Amino acid sequence: MIDIQTLVDHVLTYNPKCNEDLIRRAYEYGKVKHAQQRRQSGELYFTHPIEVAIILAGQKLDDDTIVTALLHDTLEDTDASFKELSELFGVEIAQLIDGVTKLTNLELSSVQAKQAENFRKLLLAMSQDLRVLLVKLGDRLHNMRTIKHMRPEKQISKARETMDIFAPLAGRMGMQWMREELEDLAFRVLNPEARNSIIRRFINLRDQSEDLIPSIIKDVRTLLSSNNIEASITGREKKPYSIWRKMEEKQQSFSRLSDIYGFRIITENEDNAYRALGAVHQRWTGVPGRFKDYISAPKSNGYRSIHTTVSGRDGKLVEIQIRTREMNEVAEVGVAAHWSYRDGRRAKNQFTVDPLSWLSSLAVRIENEEDDHEDFLEHVKLEMFSDQVFCFTPKGDVIQLPRGATPIDFAFAIHTRIGSTCVGSKVDGRRVPLWTRLRNGQSVEIQTATGQRPQATWIDIVITGRAKSAIRRALREDHQAGYIKLGRELARVALEHVGKKATDKALMTAAKKLGLKDYKQVLLKLGSAELMGVELVEALYPSLLQKSETNINNSAAKVIGLEADQYIEGASCCQPLPGERIVGIATRGKGVSVHSIHCDTLIEYEDQTDRWIDLTWTKGHSETVNKVTIEVTMANFSGVLGRICILISEQDSNIVDMHFSDRKQDFYRIAIDIQVRDVEHLENIITAVEADSDVAQVLQSRRHQVTLKK
């Protein structure tokens, strides 16, 4: 375990005026509080907080952040209290520790709706003091470095969460080195074969062409020296995950990938940076489309650099980044530069941009707008995790967008009103379709028209969360009356299934249970497929729902071919019905999963014939107890769904639940769970529904879900 003097000496190298006593007291306090705890590796638990503190000291952070790192788990894992921490180390440090604890407890990999609400809380917590996030990122980095001691399923869960949330978050904050390490550590867990394959290819490449990095560095150094440009040059191989991602995105093999090697030229001033660029392009051929000037158009997190890819020694394509020393400091530590120290004083850097302005804008959005959780999460993730392009308005203002954005995204980025009334666009003076993908440096002009409203098809065109959220909100407003009417029909069907009526009082009670404003909100969400009928029943009559599901799943239909002690387990992947040819697959214990002979799941058991059991249905069975799903594609006209429900009812079948799987302006596709006796009964229902003039297609839904217990 790292001792206190080593940690203090590390901090003293960049902050000779640090509060040694405060750091030492925090070290001893944490050591005592965690004394009886051990990590899964068997090490003393306190080794973890110390390592987190060392990671943050490497970013030259202030004393409060170092102390928070040492104590970040005390509130959660020991008997320490907020009051005690405030008295011993001050309120500010206690609040930072409390903030880290709250972030730890957010469970970011939980179900989507909960995840979205937790993400709101995460951003609000970060907007108060971003050092909370810095400590949390340091905590996650050390946990990923030691992840091999976790259970395999826990490793996968943490690695996915790291890849989806924490690595992109580190990148957005400008801490690119941390993003790359987090991605690579997660990649090692999620796809070890791909990672090892890329490493082997690197080794083979070195054997074939020797190590190119020193040779190219020598070439660049000679070039700059001959042009009287003072600069330092470094080179490296790209991280395995970065290489793999580019191979996947570009659908290229390793040998054809252009930027396997990366080189960095660090100059003393901006003038020399552009002179270095000119010298490089005079010496080697630049690759078209691979030049970016983030000095003249910086990223929102303050990142400034020139990127270019050239054809260098022996035709090898290499990426070169050129920037000044001050720019490099921001590029290396990102947001941490706000709390960095140099020679005992807070370091000042003219290129540092406060990312709190971005977080604060999201916090204001949380307070002022009533977006759905999923819309908000989508907005935040898209804003955080995407590479960016910079486009210009006709007046020369710069609009920053995620890569792949369209003119509609551009319009909504300017103002919601402009986006909503958009009817056309011009890019660099030429009229282009609204689905055109914008590129860096293009000038975009948006054409609007009074009375225009967002179209449903725009959802599939735009990629920014802001645009998607605004379009969905407008569509909900436009279709609110229709959704409420449709929602009432869905509520009636769902509640009649358990013998109840969809009265306004019952719906108002459901609204309270579901945290909605009133019964109209319940109907609106039902009609727009944001709330399922089964969720409505569960909110009002959970016991009746359980009884109903039991009756559906425990089919009274008998099969021949089972042994005396074997029992049937339903297979939702194919929903077999009496009258179909069926086969059983033995599962754990004495269970047998029944499948239609045409079920795709059976392919997975072709080499396990000892588990196959020949089954047949008993004859004469006629109870309506088998649940199947049909998918109906129907015109988006008033009354169509009501007619379909009546047609199903006329065929002596009960509707269990229904939800939209696809919704367009002219047609809906809706999945309806119904109860049928056998195959013949199902075919009669499909025929009756398909005969309706406003129905385009009716199919039985064969869900390809593996339900067997291997």
Query: Would you call 556 helix, strand, or coil by DSSP?
Result: coil
317 closest CA partner among 273, 267, 263? 263
The whole-angstrom distance between residue 655's C-alpha and the CA centroid of its chain comes to: 35
Per-residue pLDDT at 526 exceeds 50: yes
Query: Is the confidence at residue 203, as pLDDT, over 70?
Result: yes
Shared-domain flag, residues 471 and 483? no
Asked whether residue 636 falls in the same domain as residue 511, the answer is no
Whole-number Å distance between alpha carbons of 377 and 362: 11
Q: What is the pLDDT of residue 25?
A: 95
Residue of 262 and 85 predicted with greater confidence: 85
Residue 46 CA to residue 57 CA, distance in Å, equals: 17
Mean pLDDT of 4-10: 92
Rounded distance between C-alpha atoms, residue 663 and residue 669, angstroms:
6
pLDDT at residue 44 tops 80: yes
pLDDT given at position 551:
44
pLDDT at 705 over 50: no
Q: What percentage of the chain carries pLDDT values higher than 90? A: 21
Asked if the structure places residue 393 within a domain, the reply is yes
CATH number at residue 685: 3.30.70.260
Section 27-44 average pLDDT: 91
Q: From residue 454, how far is each of 323, 408, 433 by CA, in Å?
A: 43, 10, 15
pLDDT above 90 (res 584):
no
Q: What is the pLDDT of residues 122-152, one digit of tens each?
A: 565 555 677 888 899 999 999 999 999 888 8
CATH code of the domain containing 459 = 3.10.20.30
Whether residue 199 lies inside any domain: the answer is: no
Indicate which residue of 51, 62, 63, 76 is catalytic: 76
Over residues 362-400, the pLDDT tens digits come to 555 444 444 455 555 555 554 554 556 778 888 877 787
pLDDT score, position 709: 33
The answer to whether the Cα torsion of 620, 622, 626, 628 is positive or negative is positive
* 592, 586 Cβ separation under 8 angstroms: yes
User: Could you tell me the CATH number of the domain that includes residue 151?
Assistant: 1.10.3210.10
Please, what is the Cα angle at 359 between 333 and 352, to 5 degrees?
35
552 compared with 298, residue with greater pLDDT: 298
Task: Please report which confidence band the pLDDT of residue 707 belongs to, taking 50, 70 and 90 as the band edges.
Answer: very low
Does one domain contain both 315 and 168? Answer: no
The radius of gyration of the chain from alpha carbons, rounded to an integer in Å, stands at 31
| pLDDT above 60 (res 552) | no
Residue 369 lies in a domain: no
Residue 120 has pLDDT above 80, yes or no: no
What's the rounded Cα separation, in Å, for the pair 246 and 252? 8
Give the structural domain span for 124.
4-190
- The reported pLDDT for the residue numbered 706 is 33
Predicted confidence band of residue 20 (pLDDT cuts 50, 70, 90): very high
What are the distances in angstroms from CA 437 to CA 36, 655, 667?
A: 57, 44, 27
Q: Give the pLDDT of residue 119.
A: 54
Which pairs count as long-range contacts for 254-258, CB under 8 Å and 24+ apart, including other chains?
254/198, 254/201, 258/287, 258/290, 258/309, 258/317, 258/319
Residue 280: inside a domain: yes
Mean of pLDDT values over 673-695: 86
Answer yes or no: is pLDDT of 320 > 70. Answer: yes
User: Looking at residue 678, what is its pLDDT?
Assistant: 85
- DSSP string for 531-556: S-HHHHHHHH-HHHHHHHHHHHHS--
Active-site hit among 9, 20, 43, 77: 77
Cβ proximity of 229 and 276 under 8 Å: yes
Same domain, yes or no: 18 and 103 = yes
Structural domain includes residue 710? no
3-state class of 438 per DSSP?
A: coil
Instruction: Assess if residue 414 is contained within a domain.
Output: yes
How would you label 346-358 residue by residue, b for 16+ Cβ within 10 Å and e otherwise?
ebebebbbebbeb
CA distances from 97 to 23, 69, 334, 373, 671 (A): 15, 8, 22, 27, 48
Check which CATH number belongs to the domain holding 301 and give it: 3.30.460.10
Q: What span, in angstroms and rounded, lies between the C-alpha atoms of 49 and 142? A: 9
What is the pLDDT at residue 370?
Answer: 46
CB-CB contact of 418 with 412 (8 Å): yes
131 and 264 share one domain: no
Q: Is residue 330 within 8 Å of 59, Cβ to Cβ?
A: no
| Per-residue pLDDT, 90 | 92
Q: Which residues contact 288 (CB under 8 A, 6 or more apart)?
A: none
Residues 535 and 490 grouped into a single domain = yes
Q: Which residues contact 554 (CB under 8 A, 6 or more apart)?
A: none
Give the DSSP letter of residue 437: P
Neighbours of 607 (CB within 10 A): 6
The mean pLDDT of 98-122, rounded to a whole number, is 59
85 shares a domain with 46: yes
Which pLDDT does position 358 carry in this prediction? 55
Q: Which letter does DSSP use for residue 443 in this model?
A: B
pLDDT tier for residue 181 given thresholds of 50, 70 and 90? very high
Task: Return the SS3 of 351.
Answer: coil
Q: State whether 391 and 450 are in the same domain.
A: yes
In this prediction, residue 710 carries a pLDDT of 33
314 and 463, same structural domain?
no
From 626, 635, 620, select the one nearest 667 (Cα to Cα): 635
Check whether residue 327 and residue 411 sit in a common domain: no
Task: Report the distance separating Cα 182 and Cα 168, nearest Å.
Answer: 9
Number of independent structural domains in the chain: 5
> CA 55 → CA 66, 97, 342, distances in Å?
9, 17, 17
Looking at the structure, tell me whether residues 130 and 18 fall in a common domain. yes
Q: What is the pLDDT of residues 488-509, one digit of tens each?
A: 888 887 787 777 888 888 888 8
Look at 85-89, 361-365, 408-412, 618-622 and tell me which has the smallest mean pLDDT: 361-365
Query: Would you state the structure tokens that stand for residue 97, as one six-digit string?
Result: 């520790």
Which pLDDT score is estimated for 224? 93
Instruction: Give burial (CB, 10 Å; 0-12/13-18/19+) of 189.
Output: buried
Q: What separation in angstroms does the CA of 9 have from each of 58, 60, 343?
A: 12, 12, 14
Q: What is the mean pLDDT of the chain?
A: 79
What is the per-residue pLDDT across 236-254, written as a single tens digit (0 to 9) for each?
877 888 878 777 766 656 5
- Cα separation of 109 and 268, whole Å? 44
pLDDT of residue 207: 66
Identify whether 76 is a catalytic site residue.
yes
Query: CB of 263 within 8 A of CB of 233?
Result: yes
Among 322, 299, 298, which Cα is nearest to 310's?
322
pLDDT greater than 70 at residue 703: no
**380 occurs within a structural domain:** no
What φ, ψ does residue 415 adopt, rounded to 5°? -165, 145
Angle between helices 4-12 and 63-71 (to 10 degrees): 160
Give the global pTM: 0.55
Phi then psi for 50, rounded to 5 degrees? -65, -45
Listed range (166-170, 543-547, 703-707) with the worst mean pLDDT: 703-707
Q: Which residue has the higher pLDDT, 511 or 380?
A: 511
In this structure, the answer to whether residues 54 and 150 fall within a common structural domain is: yes
The answer as to whether 584 is a domain residue is no
